[in-house]
Amino acid sequence: MLVHWGKLEMRLIFDGHLDLALFALAHNRDQTESVAQINAREVGMTDALERGGATVSLPEMRRAGVAVCQSSISARAKREVQPVTGHRRIDLDYGTQRMAYAWAQGQLAYYRILEGQGEIKLIRTSGELDAHWGAWEQGGDESTPVGVILSMECADPIVEPSQAEAWWEDGLRSVMLAHFGFSHYAAGTGVSGPLTPKGIELLKEFERVGMILDLTHLSDMSFYEALDRFNGPVIASHNNCRALVPGDRQFSDEQIQRLIARGAVIGAALDAWMLVPDWVHGESSTEHVKLTTVVDHIDHVCQLAGNTLHAAIGTDTGATYHMPSDFKTTEDLRKLEPILVDRGYSDADIDNIFHANWRRFFRRWLPESSAC
Ligand SMILES: [Zn+2]
């Protein structure tokens, strides 16, 4: 379905994964500026590969028709990380969970000030989602707030399982137990192992408060254990297919089938190293990585499901150097539409992938009211 947006007609997008607060606080990016303004400020900066290659910001999301996204609170607690460069503001690692908690609360504060100023709308309930989506369907302009459902990438900022409820009351609605390496709760990308005793306890708290479990980034052993132990709703916000790109960051067909059986939605990520085999940060070019490759992953999930009810978008957009070469800003997500049409996807299928699957999932699993 197309909606009027200013003079344009467009299909709305629901993005399953962004890191808006992290890039604001760690990289000093004002998310209320255009991508062009952000990149102009970073000319000549050399502290990170991302510099000068921003692809997302709130004005860009509005132009692209991204009505709602999940956006993360991201921090890790790893005492063993002692980089020779020293600890820089762009690093994700803190020595203790208490420090990771404080940094994560800072990211929460960033979302709150954006909401207070009308830039975003934090969505905590199914009613808020319906009202927000309805407003976007009526059409909007350059000042319409972008909807944000708060997610957490690595559960370390939840200092103890008993603190899950306080985070829930802060508006957090989905959590990944780990990111890269071991967290205090599970084994993430690049390592192998089971859930920790604290991780098992945390899942019980998640069930109690209604938190959604995002299985993205879990190592295979932690993935299967979490899926077996957790009886609540599950998703994979930004995760591609191992059948197309070997490696533990992608899910095997068996894992995807297990997710589909649980009613999960799986967001296709735009990171080159998750889209094509053997892509290396800082070395490989993105010349051969295209948005058609993203559709290959979406299509693989649809083929496994036998329908279009589980595949979605979870961009994880960071910087142009590791994104498809025909993707420069969020607006380029619109190019996915003709690619899907070419592959025989119907109007209703494209709606499912662009927004309807995420929307249906969150309408079902967000609480009706904010009370715990
Ligand atoms: Zn991630």
Q: How far is the CA of 131 from the centre of ligand 1 (A)?
A: 29
pLDDT for 372 beyond 60: no
Q: Using CA atoms, how far apart are residues 107 and 18, in angstroms rounded to an integer?
A: 13
Tens digit of pLDDT for each residue in 79-120?
999 999 899 999 999 999 999 999 999 999 999 999 999 999
User: Taking residues 39-64, what's their average pLDDT?
Assistant: 95
Which of 358, 354, 321, 355 has the alpha carbon at shortest distance from 49?
A: 321
pLDDT for 236 beyond 80: yes
Tens digit of pLDDT for each residue in 140-172?
778 899 999 999 999 999 999 999 999 999 999
Which of 129, 2, 113, 11 has the alpha carbon at shortest distance from 58?
A: 113
Mention every residue, 6+ apart, whose C-beta is less than 8 A from residue 258.
224, 227
Q: How far is the CA of 40 from the centre of ligand 1 (A)?
A: 26
Domain 42-73+124-365 has CATH 3.20.20.60: no
Q: Using CA atoms, how far apart are residues 67 and 138, in angstroms rounded to an integer?
A: 12
Q: How far is the CA of 113 from the centre of ligand 1 (A)?
A: 24
Tens digit of pLDDT for each residue in 30-51?
999 999 999 999 999 999 999 9
**In the chain, where are the structural domains located?**
42-73+124-365
Q: How far is the CA of 13 from the centre of ligand 1 (A)?
A: 19
Q: How far is the CA of 84 from the centre of ligand 1 (A)?
A: 24
Q: How many CB atoms lie within 10 A of CB 89?
A: 10
| Amino acid type, 135 | A
Q: How far is the CA of 178 from the centre of ligand 1 (A)?
A: 9
Cα angle 261-264-269, degrees, rounded to a multiple of 5: 125
Mean pLDDT (the chain, rounded): 96
Q: What pLDDT score was predicted for residue 5?
A: 62
Tens digit of pLDDT for each residue in 123-146?
999 999 999 999 999 987 788 999
